[in-house]
Every structure is written in C-alpha cells, then in structure tokens.
C-alpha cells in the first residue's frame, strides 16, 4: 500500500471531535464555535461520528443540510474536516424496526437499544445501511476541498454471539481447518474432557455459561472476532474506495484502559494493514497516585511507538483530552503545563496531530463533565482553553520542522497480541501476575531513560533492520518465528528474552520434546521449570557482584552452550543459572530467567546500549525523567527535550542545537522548568 502523508498541506492538525448535531437547536452556539475555533488555533475537526440519528432521522429519509452548513463554516476559516462514518451508534428507529442489528452478548442475551458500539457485525441489514450511508457521504462530500480523510466508525471492538455470528464462526473454522473436523479436534485438543466435535453445528462461541476450557477454541474465536470486525470495516469502506480513491482512510485505535497497555480485544497488527493512516485515542492517566510521571511517560512513549511501528510512518492522535476524562476512578485535571508537555510528547513520537475528544462539552448525558476545549462557560479565558490555544500557536510555528519527519530505531521490542490472549487464557503461572503488556513496558523503559528509540513491532515485522531484538514473555512462539529469530541472531543480531517464552505453538499446544530446537541453539539453554511465587515470596539473582530482587517468576534452566551471568541465591535451585548469554554464529542471545526489578534492568540494558554503541539523537547529561526524542528528515532532525518531573531540571547539552521557536542557539547548561518542553533543531 502506498505511504500516505498524514497531512497534505504541511500543517500539524489541531482540533478534534466536533459534535454539532448535539447543538442544532442552538444556532448561536454553532456560530460561536467558529469564532472559538480560530481563537484556539485549531484547524481540523472530525465530524458526524455519532450523528446517524441527525443524518437519517427516519428510515431512508436523509438530512444533510445541517452538515453542509457546519462544513462550510469550518471551511470558511480555512479549517479541514475528517468525515466520520456514523456506524459507531445507530438511531433508535433502526433497533426498533430491525432488531437483528442488536448484539447478542456472550450469555446469549439480546442487548437493548442503548449506549453505542453495540451492533452485530454480521447483520446484513446493518451492512447494507452503512454502505448506503457511506455512499451518500462520499457522493456529497467526496470532492469537498476541506475533506482530509475518512474516519470509519469509532473505536471498533466488542463481539456478537447471535446465530448469524455463530454461523460465520463455523464457516471461518471450516475454511481454516480445510473442512476437516479431525484437524480442528487435534488443534483444539478435543479429547480433553470429551470436547471432541463430531458435527460443525456443535460448535458454539465461548461463553461464561459453559466452561471455556478449550483454549484452542478461545484463541480461534478471538482471531475470528478480528476477522469479522475487519470484514465489517471492509464492507464500510467499499463505496469510499470506489468513489473517493484518493481520500485516505483511518479508524481510531486505542489502548487497553485504564491499564494503559496495548489493546487486546482485536489484533491490530492485522487491522493496521487495512487502513491508510494509523490513528489512536490516548487517555493517559496523568498525575495518579500509582506511578511517577516519568514512568507513565515512558509507557505513553511505548504505545506511541507501537502505533508508529504498525506502518512505520507518522500517525494521528485522534482523541485526547485537554484536561480530564470522566471514566477513570478519579478524574484528575491535567496540571498547568501538562497539556503542552503531553501533547509535545505525541508529536515527538511521530504524531502529526493533536486532536481532542471533544470540541465542546455536551450539556447532557454521560459525557457532560468530560474535558473539552470549550467548557459550559463558553469562555476563551479559562485555563484549559488558554492552554489549548497556546499549544495551537506553537503547533503552527512548529509545523515546518515536524510534518513529514520520520522516526528511526535500532531496537525492536515484539508485542504479540495472540500470545497475550493465550497467556491470559492459560490456567497456570500466577493468574494475576502475568502482566505481559506491563512487562514489555518495563523493558522498554530502560531504553527510554537512555533516549534510545525503540520500535514496538509484531512477529510479522522484518527483524533484520534492528541491532537488538527484545522478546520478553513471548509465551506463544511458532516454529516459523523461532526460525526468524535464529536467522536474526545468525546474522549478528542480539536477542533478549525472558521466563515464559516459547512454551506453546500457534494453536496454543505445548511444544513437545522441550524447547524448540532453534531456541535451544540460539539461547544455548533449556528452560526446565517455571516456578511461580506468592506475592510475599522473594529470591535474588547475583549479577556482577550485586544481588537483585526476584518476584513472581523464576525459571530453572539447564545450560547447554550458554554461559551463566547470574545465579539464584535461594530455594532448591540455589546457585543454578538465572541469567545466561550465548554466542551463536555472529550474534548473541540473552535469557533472563526471572522477573527482576528495574535496578537490574537498568544495569543490564545500560551495558547492552554501550556494547552496541547506541547513541541518542542528542548527547546530553540529565536526571531521570527528562526525555529526548527525535524526528528526522533529510539532513536534519527535530529534537524534543521534555521534562516529565515536578522539579526544575538542569541538563548539560554536549552539542549545540537551535531552538525551533526562538532561534536561540543552545549548548552547555539548559534549565527546564517543571513539565517544560524545548523543541530544537540539529543538522546531521
Ligand atoms: C473514547 C470515545 C469517545 C469518547 C471518549 C471519552 O473512547 O471514542 O467518543 O467517549 O472515549 O474519553
């Protein structure tokens, strides 16, 4: 697929979800919006996301007049619009007259009309209606000069268990298993508890009513849900591709919240192939009492790099809040300066936009207290509006040195959602301590602290561009991926893995005969047992003369070719290897057998960064909590220096750079106020 530049006129996009359909009875508000949009230095609005009831108030009776006017107003101030297809929420008349559009939940209960994101992906009627609606939108607005792209539906997710979806699941399985129940039973380990299937009709989607003991089936169901969702999306975009082949298409992805780890309801690595531009909705829980700002910042960075790496190109921040949300346990306002800093961080990691949910706070219903640019006071003088306007002005000034600039990393960390599904399903290990996403973020954090960029990749990504490949907790590992890792190391790459890696294959069946051969060869060890700890259990591993604490997991290892770098201090595996290094052909492979703490990771990864001669974009000395990230273009790079601490920080810059906003030449000591960002340029 051709690479599409996110913005076509070199402007960073600033704006967000605009829901004028909530305000059609308030013409003064709609007029006021345009004035406020200018004052906020905003230029891009996603419209129509939940507007189906306004666009088609009665079946087959459409009304686009109000939308025409809204679009003309945005256009009149030089703004752009991202046209959403409204399928994320449907009108009540549709649920009333065509109840097949309503979802059936995993308990086989038909859902009532209400909320949103709750339509059946198989419903023929819904598919037909979305195509009709999208055709009308494309015919009417496809040539509009202010149209920037299509935004398909909203935050796809969820699943339906109605009869049509069951049938589609069975058809999908028939196709996958070549119409052969023997193959399916083998893959699902059907003989276990007499779960052998003898007729396709016996297959039912997983439900809490039954026992979900058949892990192979659970895994296939999740794969099917991804397939089904993408299929629905493809049905939606058909008329858009036909009528507006040059208009890029996106759909807004998200994270798993409130944990703020990669999204697990769908396999985004597959979905990403179908969109032109990645966009995502980031609602980081800033200022919680759970973690310091710097640690959260590194997790935000991880997710951004995850979305950048999906297409290895700049993405859009489609939704964020300028102040607070309404669905965290505690909805804390962003402290002064945090909005600017957190937005700059998105740009630093490859976003070409800062877009909000939402432009104007609703007057009623569940989101009336969710943060927005325009508050109920309708004022441009409140703190939030002023911070948004300040950011908008800076984005206008920075566009030239950000838009089109790329990211580049020598380190890749592999996140595999299928492995995440299987590991979560596994009855074993510590049921509450698996934390695959969080574990990846912890390993990633050590590179972030050193300002070394990392791509967050999938198992399908080519490994050869990287010097270091991190595959912590890669529970599910196929022979194909094992061979790929082996080839990477053979050619000189360095790989690091941990406990729980490589225990099952892509059907979630354990590997027979111990670890896969390529893994034994590459790592020069064989994991024998995975010991799981109670929360109060501790062990330690001595590495380079210092003891580091072990929690949750400890693998007992057999050394083959590898050397031991550290051993356990306690338990029946006292003095046996916990950490190993193997030289394999031109490369190296490290196995970290235990869940070790940040102190260990810091020492271990700092050494790896040194031995691999990885250098940050800008040489500087600073405390933890300051992050330096770069975007590159031909011969130059734009570098974001960000203070994610509540204190002033003094950095020592070891090279000269020019401030992009003030043209000041900087070098030597640089003071950063709490939460301050400086954006600088460096020639390369
Ligand atoms: C998103 C959703 C928006 C809005 C927002 C509130 O998940 O796409 O429509 O509800 O959450 O934070």
| pLDDT in the model for residue 5 | 56
CB neighbours of 479 closer than 8 A, spacing ≥ 6? 505, 516, 518
d(CA 357, ligand 1 centre) in Å: 6
| pLDDT in the model for residue 1 | 38
Token pair 């306002």: residue: 333
Q: Is residue 272 situated within a structural domain? A: yes
| 427 shares a domain with 362 | no
- Model confidence pLDDT, tens digit, residues 116-143: 999 999 999 999 999 999 999 999 999 9
Q: Determine the Cα–Cα distance for residues 379 and 374; give it in Å rounded to an integer.
A: 7
| pLDDT in the model for residue 3 | 43
Q: Determine the Cα–Cα distance for residues 301 and 312; give it in Å rounded to an integer.
A: 15
CA torsion sign for 137, 138, 139, 143 is positive
Mean pLDDT of 485-495: 98
DSSP state of 101: G
| pLDDT in the model for residue 7 | 65
Given a cut of 80, is residue 95 above it in pLDDT? Answer: yes
| pLDDT in the model for residue 683 | 85
Q: Which one of 586, 611, 636 terminates a domain? A: 611
Q: Determine the Cα–Cα distance for residues 415 and 274; give it in Å rounded to an integer.
A: 19
Shortest-distance atom of ligand 1 to CA 326: 12
| 188 shares a domain with 120 | yes
Encode burial over 345-378: b for 16+ CB neighbours within 10 A, e otherwise: bbbbbbbbbbbbbbbbbbeeeebeebbbbbbeee
d(CA 414, ligand 1 centre) in Å: 28
Q: Is residue 584 situated within a structural domain? A: yes
Q: Tell me, using a 6 A CB cutoff, whether residue 372 lines ligand 1.
A: no
Contact 22, 52 (CB under 8 A): no
Mean pLDDT of 3-30: 87
| 442 shares a domain with 555 | yes
Given a cut of 90, is residue 657 above it in pLDDT? Answer: yes
- Model confidence pLDDT, tens digit, residues 607-650: 999 999 999 999 999 999 999 999 999 999 999 999 999 999 99
Residue 306 zone, left/alpha/beta (φ > 0; ψ -120 to 50; rest)? alpha
d(CA 264, ligand 1 centre) in Å: 17
Of 56, 100, 155, 159, which one is the catalytic site residue?
A: 155
| pLDDT in the model for residue 470 | 98
| 387 shares a domain with 427 | no
Contact 7, 13 (CB under 8 A): yes
Q: What is the CATH number of the domain that holds 417?
A: 3.40.50.880
Give the H or E element holding residue 84: strand 80-84
Q: Determine the Cα–Cα distance for residues 612 and 449; give it in Å rounded to an integer.
A: 16
| 116 shares a domain with 82 | yes
- Model confidence pLDDT, tens digit, residues 440-479: 999 999 999 999 999 999 999 999 999 999 999 999 999 9
| pLDDT in the model for residue 209 | 86
CA nearest ligand 1 atom 11, residue? 357
Alpha-carbon dihedral 385, 278, 90, 264, rounded to 10 degrees: -100
Tokens of 580: 């190993």
Shortest-distance atom of ligand 1 to CA 321: 12
For residue 595, CA distances in Å to 205, 385, 443, 500, 502 come to: 35, 45, 11, 10, 16
Assign 3-state DSSP to the chain and report helix, strand, coil percentages, each to 5.
35, 25, 45
Q: Is residue 4 situated within a structural domain? A: no
- Model confidence pLDDT, tens digit, residues 283-296: 999 999 999 999 99
What 3-state class would DSSP assign to 388? helix
Q: Tell me, using a 6 A CB cutoff, whether residue 155 lines ligand 1.
A: yes
Q: Tell me, using a 6 A CB cutoff, whether residue 283 lines ligand 1.
A: yes
d(CA 356, ligand 1 centre) in Å: 10
Q: Determine the Cα–Cα distance for residues 373 and 362; give it in Å rounded to an integer.
A: 11
Q: Would you call 151 exposed, middle or buried from its count of C-beta atoms within 10 A (0-12, 13-18, 19+)? A: buried
Given a cut of 90, is residue 27 above it in pLDDT? Answer: yes
Q: Determine the Cα–Cα distance for residues 419 and 214; give it in Å rounded to an integer.
A: 16
Token pair 């595959």: residue: 471
Shortest-distance atom of ligand 1 to CA 327: 12
- Residue 672 φ/ψ, nearest 5 degrees: -120, 125
Q: Is residue 405 situated within a structural domain? A: no
For residue 607, CA distances in Å to 88, 495, 616 come to: 48, 14, 15
CA nearest ligand 1 atom 9, residue? 357
Residue from 487, 547, 541 nearest 518 by CA:
487
Which of 316, 319, 324, 327 for a ligand 1 pocket mutation test, highest count of atoms within 8 Å of Cβ?
A: 319
Question: How many domains, the chain?
Answer: 3
Q: Is residue 127 situated within a structural domain? A: yes
CA nearest ligand 1 atom 4, residue? 357
Q: Tell me, using a 6 A CB cutoff, whether residue 325 lines ligand 1.
A: yes
pLDDT band at 210 (very low <50, low <70, confident <90, very high): confident
Q: Which one of 399, 428, 448 terminates a domain? A: 399
- Residue 344 φ/ψ, nearest 5 degrees: -60, -35
d(CA 270, ligand 1 centre) in Å: 23
CA nearest ligand 1 atom 5, residue? 357
Give the H or E element holding residue 658: strand 649-659
Token pair 């069946």: residue: 509
- Cross-strand bridge partners of residue 19: none
Q: Tell me, using a 6 A CB cutoff, whether residue 295 lines ligand 1.
A: no
d(CA 352, ligand 1 centre) in Å: 20
Alpha-carbon dihedral 393, 397, 400, 404, rounded to 10 degrees: -30
- Model confidence pLDDT, tens digit, residues 391-407: 999 999 999 999 989 99
d(CA 388, ligand 1 centre) in Å: 19
Which of 116, 156, 281 for a ligand 1 pocket mutation test, highest count of atoms within 8 Å of Cβ?
A: 281
Given a cut of 80, is residue 244 above it in pLDDT? Answer: yes
In three state form, how does the secondary structure of 490-529 look?
A: HCCCEEEEECCCCCECCCCCECCCCCCHHHHHHHCEEEEE
| 600 shares a domain with 665 | no
| 633 shares a domain with 597 | no
Shortest-distance atom of ligand 1 to CA 49: 9
Q: Tell me, using a 6 A CB cutoff, whether residue 89 lines ligand 1.
A: no
| 564 shares a domain with 650 | no
Q: Determine the Cα–Cα distance for residues 33 and 465; give it in Å rounded to an integer.
A: 47
Q: What is the CATH number of the domain that holds 647?
A: 2.60.40.1180
Mean pLDDT of 151-162: 97
Given a cut of 50, is residue 560 above it in pLDDT? Answer: yes
d(CA 256, ligand 1 centre) in Å: 13
d(CA 35, ligand 1 centre) in Å: 25
Percent of the chain exceeding pLDDT 90 equals 97
d(CA 267, ligand 1 centre) in Å: 20
Mean pLDDT of 295-300: 98
Give the H or E element holding residue 613: none
Q: What is the DSSP string of 317-345?
A: EEE--SS--SSSSS-PPPPTTHHHHHHHH
| 647 shares a domain with 552 | no
| pLDDT in the model for residue 2 | 41
Residue from 335, 349, 342, 337 nearest 302 by CA:
349
For residue 111, CA distances in Å to 99, 106, 107, 116, 558 come to: 10, 11, 10, 11, 53
| pLDDT in the model for residue 4 | 53
Token pair 């709490």: residue: 674
| 436 shares a domain with 379 | no
Q: Tell me, using a 6 A CB cutoff, whether residue 319 lines ligand 1.
A: yes
Q: Is residue 1 situated within a structural domain? A: no
CA torsion sign for 642, 648, 649, 650 is positive
Q: Tell me, using a 6 A CB cutoff, whether residue 370 lines ligand 1.
A: yes
Q: What is the CATH number of the domain that holds 118?
A: 3.20.20.80
| 674 shares a domain with 577 | no
- Model confidence pLDDT, tens digit, residues 315-328: 999 999 999 999 99
- Residue 682 φ/ψ, nearest 5 degrees: -135, 135
Q: Tell me, using a 6 A CB cutoff, whether residue 353 lines ligand 1.
A: no
Contact 666, 658 (CB under 8 A): yes
Cα angle 386, 391, 394 (rounded to 5 degrees) comes to 130
| pLDDT in the model for residue 187 | 98
Mean pLDDT of 287-313: 97
For residue 346, CA distances in Å to 325, 468, 625 come to: 18, 24, 16
Of 319, 387, 418, 449, which one is the catalytic site residue?
A: 319
Q: Is residue 3 situated within a structural domain? A: no
CA nearest ligand 1 atom 3, residue? 357
d(CA 652, ligand 1 centre) in Å: 41
Contact 308, 315 (CB under 8 A): yes
Which of 19, 158, 357, 366 for a ligand 1 pocket mutation test, highest count of atoms within 8 Å of Cβ?
A: 357
Q: Is residue 269 situated within a structural domain? A: yes
- Cross-strand bridge partners of residue 591: 497, 580
Examine the residue annotation and report whether 155 is marked as an active-site residue of this protein. yes
Q: Tell me, using a 6 A CB cutoff, whether residue 154 lines ligand 1.
A: yes
Shortest-distance atom of ligand 1 to CA 50: 9
Q: Tell me, using a 6 A CB cutoff, whether residue 573 lines ligand 1.
A: no
Alpha-carbon dihedral 259, 264, 270, 272, rounded to 10 degrees: -30
Examine the residue annotation and report whether 526 is marked as an active-site residue of this protein. no
Tokens of 125: 């009627």
| 451 shares a domain with 382 | no
Q: Which one of 377, 399, 421 terminates a domain? A: 399
Contact 648, 672 (CB under 8 A): yes
Structural domain harbouring 491: 411-611
Contact 83, 249 (CB under 8 A): no
Q: Tell me, using a 6 A CB cutoff, whether residue 33 lines ligand 1.
A: no
For residue 74, CA distances in Å to 82, 232, 516 come to: 11, 31, 59
């Amino acid at each position: 697929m051709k690479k599409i530049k996110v913005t076509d006129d070199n402007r960073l996009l600033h704006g967000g979800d605009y829901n004028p359909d909530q305000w059609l009875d308030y013409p003064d508000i709609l007029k006021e919006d345009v004035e406020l949009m200018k004052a906020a230095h905003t230029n891009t609005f996603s419209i129509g996301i939940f507007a189906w009831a306004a666009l088609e108030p009665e079946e087959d009776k459409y009304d686009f007049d109000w939308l025409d006017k809204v679009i003309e107003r945005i256009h009149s101030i030089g703004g752009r619009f991202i046209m959403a297809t409204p399928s994320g929420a449907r009108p009540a008349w549709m649920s009333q007259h065509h109840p097949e559009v309503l979802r059936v939940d995993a308990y086989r209960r038909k859902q009532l009309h209400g909320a949103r994101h709750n339509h059946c992906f198989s419903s023929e009627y819904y598919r037909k209606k979305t195509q009709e609606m999208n055709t009308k939108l494309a015919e009417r607005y496809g040539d509009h000069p202010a149209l920037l792209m299509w935004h398909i539906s909203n935050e796809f997710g969820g699943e339906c268990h109605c009869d049509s979806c069951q049938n589609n699941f069975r058809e999908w399985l028939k196709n996958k298993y070549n119409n052969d129940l023997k193959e399916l039973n083998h893959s699902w380990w059907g003989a276990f508890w007499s779960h052998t299937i003898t007729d396709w009709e016996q297959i039912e989607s997983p439900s809490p009513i039954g026992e979900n003991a058949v892990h192979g089936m659970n895994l296939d169901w999740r794969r099917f849900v991804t397939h089904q969702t993408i299929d629905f999306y493809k049905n939606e975009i058909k008329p858009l591709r036909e009528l507006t082949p040059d208009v890029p298409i996106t759909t807004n992805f998200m994270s798993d919240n409130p944990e703020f780890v990669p999204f697990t309801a769908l396999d985004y690595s597959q979905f990403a192939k179908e969109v032109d531009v990645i966009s995502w909705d980031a609602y980081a829980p800033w200022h919680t009492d759970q973690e310091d700002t710097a640690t959260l910042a590194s997790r935000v960075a991880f997710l951004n790099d995850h979305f950048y790496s999906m297409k290895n190109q700049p993405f859009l921040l489609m939704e964020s809040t300028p102040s607070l949300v309404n669905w965290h346990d505690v909805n804390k306002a962003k402290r002064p300066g945090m909005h600017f800093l957190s937005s700059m961080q998105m740009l630093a990691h490859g976003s070409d936009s800062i877009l909000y949910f939402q432009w104007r706070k609703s007057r009623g219903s569940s989101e009336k207290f969710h943060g927005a640019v325009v508050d109920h006071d309708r004022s441009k003088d409140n703190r939030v509006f002023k911070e948004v306007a300040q950011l908008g002005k800076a984005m206008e000034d920075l566009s030239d040195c950000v838009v089109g600039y790329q990211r580049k990393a020598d380190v890749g960390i592999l996140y595999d959602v299928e492995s995440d599904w299987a590991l979560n399903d596994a009855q074993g290990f510590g049921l509450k301590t698996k934390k695959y996403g969080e574990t990846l973020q912890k390993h990633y954090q050590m590179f972030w602290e050193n300002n070394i960029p990392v791509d967050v990749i999938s198992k399908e990504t080519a490994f050869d561009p990287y010097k270091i490949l991190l595959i912590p907790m890669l529970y599910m590992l196929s022979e194909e991926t094992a061979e790929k890792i082996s080839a990477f190391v053979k050619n000189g790459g360095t790989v690091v893995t941990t406990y729980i890696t490589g225990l099952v294959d892509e059907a979630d069946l354990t590997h027979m005969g111990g670890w896969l051969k390529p893994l034994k060869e590459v790592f020069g060890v064989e994991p024998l047992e995975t010991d799981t700890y109670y929360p109060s259990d501790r062990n330690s591993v001595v590495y380079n003369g210092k003891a580091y604490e072990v929690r949750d997991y400890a693998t007992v290892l057999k050394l083959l070719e590898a050397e031991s770098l550290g051993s356990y201090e306690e338990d029946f595996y006292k003095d046996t290897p916990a950490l190993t290094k193997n030289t394999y052909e031109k490369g190296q492979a490290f196995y970290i057998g235990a869940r070790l703490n940040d102190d260990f990771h810091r020492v271990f990864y700092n050494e790896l960064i040194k031995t691999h001669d990885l250098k940050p974009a800008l040489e500087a000395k600073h405390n933890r909590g300051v992050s330096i990230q770069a975007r590159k273009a031909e011969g130059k790079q734009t570098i974001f220096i960000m203070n994610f601490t509540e204190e002033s920080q003094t950095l020592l810059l070891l090279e000269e750079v020019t401030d992009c906003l003030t043209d000041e030449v900087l070098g030597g000591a640089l003071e950063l106020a709490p939460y301050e960002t400086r954006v600088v340029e460096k020639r390369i």
